[in-house]
Structure 1
Amino acid sequence: MDFSLPPEIDAARQRVRAFVEEHILPLEGDPASYDAHENIAEPVLERVREKARAEGLWSPQMPKARGGMGLPVIGMAACYEEMNRSIFGPVCFNCSAPDDGNMVLLERVGTEAQKERWLQPIIDGKVRSSIVMTEPAPGAGSDPAGMMQTRAERRGDTWVVNGRKWFITGAGVASHFILLARTSDDPRKGLTTFLFHKDQPGWRIERRIPIMGPEEHGGHCELVFEGLEIPHENMLMNEGDGLKSVQIRLGTARLTHCMRWLGLAKRALEIGGEYVGRRDAFGKRLAERESVQMMLGEAAMQIEIGRLLVMKAAWKLDQGDFARKEVSMAKVVVADVLHQAVDTAIQLNGARGYSKDTPLEWMYRYARQARLVDGASEVHKMVLARFLDGEGRDFWKWGV
């Protein structure tokens, strides 16, 4: 077994690391860098994006022929972790959700015409995108196949969509949308994926849902569909392939969340470690106290466990495997790791950590969503239990 990175991937990682250090981290301390929703302000973002593009650090998940860096998934893991050393990092490199997962899906399954129309503008940074799947109760959440309420009905060469969606990330600024809707009552082939543009009539944003944490650009919106007409040519894959398309997208998208969260977790420990390294209390440096060392050591160990799980899943995805078991394990563990690392850093910083003098409180609010997005932790544990039931002792088998 070889746990080292290929030289070319490590070189890319180091370039990303240097870029974040020089161009992105300094922005966090300037109030003018933030928009009203606590993300990086658009004018600032555009300047940083131009620098990243000029240095060849743009869209690493996309093929070089389309203007990306052409990295494999293990390369994405190494670089995304470095990008999210800053709370602003991923979006500066065109690697933030939901664009990241949407690009991966469109690149893998779109027709050439669809890639030119719907994918290339996202890669180029000209538009943003959103995936439209989750619904209010009793609609689709973790069980889209059984509970999807939004319907698309075919009328000649057009599909007419009616229904309601919510918590649709990025919808407020997206131009290109990927929509999952019910097209039949078949339990496995009843859902279909479509593409539509923001300017098409027949839908609207009902509201931008307020959340406890800082928001991605475009927020988390509730959408209403009242007769949206989508040409048949804008169907992604085939009729009934909706669940398949979701699995293709979420396999990598769930893992890229983990890659980014590991970067935030490491940054949190960095902030915590720096503070206890210079803070004295009761005649002793905090870093010299065993209780503090145990907190840091435990969090550092859990981060490394998460990194190993992520890299194994990334490696399997690069081999053409769906890595469903490995992705679920990584998703559960890294979501917990992020919260643990940030919570540890806040505790070590005391009142300073709870204030806005560091990014820790921003990270803490952001971290709580990790156990919910792209499948709640409990759902992923159910998935793992099914694998265990079906595989028995082979659940832990080595690949040969």
Structure 2
Amino acid sequence: MSIDFTLDPQLEEIRRRTRDFVEAEILPVEADRTNWDEHDNIADVPLRALREKARTAGLWCPQVPQALGGMGLPVTGRAVMYEEANRSIFGPAVFNCAAPDDGNMDVLARVATPAQQARWLAPLVAGEVRSSFVMTEPAPGGGSDPGMIGTSAVRDGDVWRVTGRKWFITGAEGAAHFILIARTDPNPAEKRRHLTAFLFHRDQPGWKILRRIAIMGPEEHGGHCELEFDGLEIPDENRLMGVGDGLKVTQIRLGTARLTHCMRWLGLAKRAMSEAQSYVDQREGFGIRLAERESVRLMLGGVALNIQIGRLLTMNAAWALDRGSHARKEVSMAKLHVADTLHQAADVAIQLNGARGYSRDTVLEWIYRYARQARLVDGASEVHRMVLADAYAREGDEFWTWGA
């Protein structure tokens, strides 16, 4: 048995170039609040300028195959790059690997037809448009349980007519391309083949954004919106995979997307640690630097430990995905731990910075507000604990088998 965490030279070079680009190009832009938009994200003008630099540097769309215009990194390679990218809160958007576009591009590259990729994926890879994944519904509709999805798509010849309501749809206000999950089998007892995935464009009639839902923030570009469908017509050629394959599309997308969240969150957690360490290194109180106090050292050491555990869990899940496993329990373990660790890192960093950390003089309050959603998005923590409990009930001691 051989275990080797050494990065191959090509991936180490990408890691280093990503880190250097964030340090030299993105962090100075982030530090100037005039480059922020009203929703605490990077404004479009500086984003376009940085994206052009990233493209020139060869740091663009790491999740997309090279033949389709990306870097073609495996999931393990993305784990390395995304962690470095999100040492800036603007990093993923600059490298075109931010949610939800990241997951949408990944699933389109994997399951869309060549014609669909030319129409729906290529503009995303080029950075010309943004996208959104339309699944979650208000009660009594589907959330973590896709079996409850009520938005319907009824076929009439070569057209599907969509009726229903969705909410907390990330990026919807700024998106041009949408992936929609709707019920195509009205049988309430059917729980596996009842959903189908569709592609539609912002300019098609028959749907509207009811509101951009106000949240704690900060927000991804396009916010989190409530949508209403009242007869949206989607040609059958814009169906993604087969009729009844909607749950499969969702699983293909969300498995990797949940893990890429973890990759980015680890970068944010490390950024919070860096902000905390730099402050306690120079701040003195009662005749001693904060960094020399045992209580401070214990706090930082605990966060550092949890970040490293999160990195190992994330890389293990990435390795399993690269080997063709669904890696459901591996992804759930990473999602649970890293979400908690991000919140811990932000909280500790604010505590050690005192009032400065609570203010907008640092990025820590941004990270803290962002961190709270981590235990909710792409499956609440309780859902992932149930996944692990179910896996253990099936597998017993085999739950801890080495390998995927």
TM-score normalised according to structure 2 size: 0.98
Q: Distance in 2 between matches of 1:239 and 1:4?
A: 44
1:48-80 Cα offsets, whole Å, 9 max, x none, are: 000000111110111111211111111100000
Match of 2:100 among 91, 98, 101: 98
Q: Distance in 2 between matches of 1:170 and 1:130?
A: 5
- Structure 1 partner of 2:6: 4
1:1-400 equivalence runs, <5 A: 1-145=3-147, 147-184=148-185, 185=187, 186-399=190-403
CA deviation after TM superposition for structure 1 residue 125, in Å: 0.5
1:323-382 Cα offsets, whole Å, 9 max, x none, are: 111000000000000000010000000000000000000100000000000000000000
Q: Distance in 1 between matches of 2:69 and 2:217?
A: 33
Query: What residue identity is the alignment partner of 1:275?
Result: Y
1:274-329 Cα offsets, whole Å, 9 max, x none, are: 00000111111110010000000000000000000000000111111111110000
3-state SS in 2 of match to 1:75: helix
CA deviation after TM superposition for structure 1 residue 399, in Å: 2.7
1:237-291 Cα offsets, whole Å, 9 max, x none, are: 1011111110000011000000000000000000000000001111111100100
Alignment identity in percent? Answer: 68
Q: Distance in 1 between matches of 2:314 and 2:259?
A: 7
Query: What residue identity is the alignment partner of 2:119?
Result: R
CA contact (8 A) 2:182 2:196 kept: yes
CA deviation after TM superposition for structure 1 residue 232, in Å: 0.5
CA contact (8 A) 2:320 2:403 kept: no
Q: Distance in 2 between matches of 1:110 and 1:67?
A: 15
Q: Distance in 2 between matches of 1:365 and 1:13?
A: 27
Q: Distance in 1 between matches of 2:55 and 2:15?
A: 15
3-state SS in 1 of match to 2:4: coil
Q: Distance in 1 between matches of 2:340 and 2:146?
A: 25
1:190-214 Cα offsets, whole Å, 9 max, x none, are: 0010000001000000000000111
3-state SS in 1 of match to 2:343: helix
Q: Distance in 1 between matches of 2:346 and 2:174?
A: 29
Query: When the two structures are aligned, how many residues end up with a matched partner?
Result: 399
1:160-218 Cα offsets, whole Å, 9 max, x none, are: 00000000000001010000000012221000100000010000000000001111000
TM-score normalised according to structure 1 size: 0.99
Q: Distance in 2 between matches of 1:31 and 1:294?
A: 33
Gaps of at least 5 residues in structure 2 are none
3-state SS in 1 of match to 2:160: strand
3-state SS in 2 of match to 1:229: strand
Query: What residue identity is the alignment partner of 1:157?
Result: D
3-state SS in 2 of match to 1:90: helix
Q: Distance in 2 between matches of 1:387 and 1:3?
A: 27
Q: Distance in 2 between matches of 1:189 and 1:106?
A: 20
Q: Distance in 1 between matches of 2:392 and 2:326?
A: 17
Query: What residue identity is the alignment partner of 2:394?
Result: G
CA deviation after TM superposition for structure 1 residue 32, in Å: 1.1
3-state SS in 2 of match to 1:172: helix
Structure 1 consecutive aligned stretches of length 4 or more whose deviation exceeds 3 Å = none
RMSD across aligned positions (CA): 0.7
